[in-house]
Chain A
Amino acid sequence: MLVTMKNSELIDKLVLIAGGDIDLVSEAIRVSATNPEGQAELKEVVDYIVAHRKSEPVAA
Chain B
Amino acid sequence: MSVVWTTIVIIALLFPGVFFFIGLATYERLSREIIRSGVVSEIALATAVAVTLHLISLSFLSAFTGFRLSRFVMPMVDYSASPSHETATQITSRLAHVAYYFLGTATLGFAIGMLVAVGIVSGWLRFLAKHKWIYDIVDRGRKGGIVTAFVMTNTVENGNVLMYSGRVHDIFLLPDGKISYVTLKNCARFFMSFSGDAPKTGPHLDLFDGQKSYRRVWDYLLIDGDNIANILFDPSVETIRTSDEGFKALQEALAKQRNEAREAIRKRTEELLKRTGADANTIDAAPAVAKRPTEG
Chain A residues with CB under 8 Å of chain B are: 1-8, 10-22, 25-26, 29-30, 32-33, 38-43, 45-47, 49-50, 56-59
Contacts and interface: CB of A to CB of B under 8 A. Distances in A.
| Interface hub of A16, A47, A58 (most chain B Cβ within 10 A) | A16
B213 A13 contact: no
A27 to B, nearest CB: 10
Nearest to B142: A6
A25 B138 CA distance: 20
Contacts, number: 149
B241 A1 contact: no
Contacts of B48: none
Contacts of B294: none
12 contacts: A1-B33, A7-B141, A14-B250, A17-B250, A18-B213, A20-B208, A25-B146, A26-B146, A29-B146, A29-B238, A30-B238, A39-B239
B30 interface: yes
Interface in B212-263: 212-217, 236-243, 245-250, 253-254, 257, 261
B216 A15 contact: yes
Contacts of A38: 237-239
A1 B190 CA distance: 29
B98 interface: no
B253 A46 contact: yes
B92 to A, nearest CB: 46
Given A7-B142, A10-B242, A22-B186, A1 B175 contact: yes
B145 interface: yes
B217 A16 contact: yes
Nearest to A21: B213
B153 to A, nearest CB: 20
B94 interface: no
Q: Which 9 A-B pairs have the closest CB atoms?
A: A42-B246, A33-B238, A20-B213, A5-B141, A20-B216, A22-B186, A4-B170, A39-B241, A43-B246
B112 to A, nearest CB: 22
A46 to B, nearest CB: 4
B137 interface: yes
Contact of A6 (B141, B208, B249): B141
B213 A15 contact: yes
A47 B142 CA distance: 22
A43 B243 contact: yes
Contacts of B242: 10, 42
A56 B104 CA distance: 56
A15 B144 contact: no
Nearest to B250: A46
A11 B86 CA distance: 65
Nearest to B245: A43
Contacts of B250: 10, 13-14, 17, 42, 46
